[in-house]
Homo-oligomer: A and B are copies of this chain.
Amino acid sequence: MSTKKVVIIYSGGMDSYTVLHLAKHEGYEVHAVSFNYGQRHSKELLYAEKVTRKFNIPHKIVDISSINQLIAGSSLTSNIDVPQGHYEEASMKQTVVPNRNMILLSLAVGYAVSIKAEAVYFGAHSGDHAIYPDCRTEFVSTMNEVCKIANYEAVEVRAPFLKSDKIEILARGLALNLDYNDTWTCYNGREKACGKCGACQERLEAFAGNNMTDPLEYE
């Protein structure tokens, strides 16, 4: 019997990196897809490329930055300053890209249908629930309903860390012996991670929560 295929939405960050390896560990033939949607920098995508090459995982990087004609206003895709400090509602709402996950999932599901993959994995987690409506349990379960019927082939949307926080995701990855030097998290795309933006702070907290030191270099 041939190995079953799945598609992973892989940003190059630590969550989707862990999801990628989890699906691989579960025995799936993993197909990674990364989206360039006009992020302020493409450093995460370089990490994604490096990792998929290292593990010989088929990888597509799809440039969908033309959609910025339609969706505007997030500090992740425009020139608004990236908020510093910990995730807080007022400032972190600036990082919301309208309908981001529905867009990325719909493309990944199209890919899954094309290559006859049974599921799409993505790295939504409980830490994002407060700010991002499209990382919540109801969103994922309703997307699953629609992805069952949108094509002749049902595709399952799986978010294995939907109820886990970053500390738990990292714990799972460390238990799989994953090397987090292969991941990029910082919202700024400089040589070293800034250590100050909300994304860096969450990452550092995840390592602290696991009594570990992040192998990544910081400014």
- Which A residues contact B (CB, under 8 angstroms)? 33, 60, 62-64, 66-67, 69-73, 96-103, 105-111, 113-114, 133-134, 136, 138-139, 142-143, 145-147, 149-152
Contact = CB atoms under 8 A, between A and B. Distances in A.
Copies of this chain present in the complex amount to: 2
A134 B150 contact: yes
Nearest to A98: B113
B138 A114 contact: no
Chain A interface main SS type: helix
Contact of A64 (B64, B114, B152): B64
Given A110-B103, A145-B142, A151-B134, A66 B64 contact: yes
B70 A33 contact: yes
A139 B134 contact: no
Given A70-B60, A142-B142, A107 B114 contact: no
Contacts of A146: 102, 139, 142-143, 145-146
Given A64-B66, A138-B149, A142-B145, A109 B114 contact: no
Name, among A33, A63, A67, the residue most crowded by chain B CB atoms within 10 Å (CB to CB). Answer: A67
A211 B82 CA distance: 61
B149 A110 contact: no
Contact of A106 (B99, B142, B151): B99
Contacts of A97: 110
B71 A98 contact: no
A90 to B, nearest CB: 13
B67 A107 contact: yes
Contacts of A103: 103, 106-107, 110
Contact of A101 (B66, B142, B150): B150
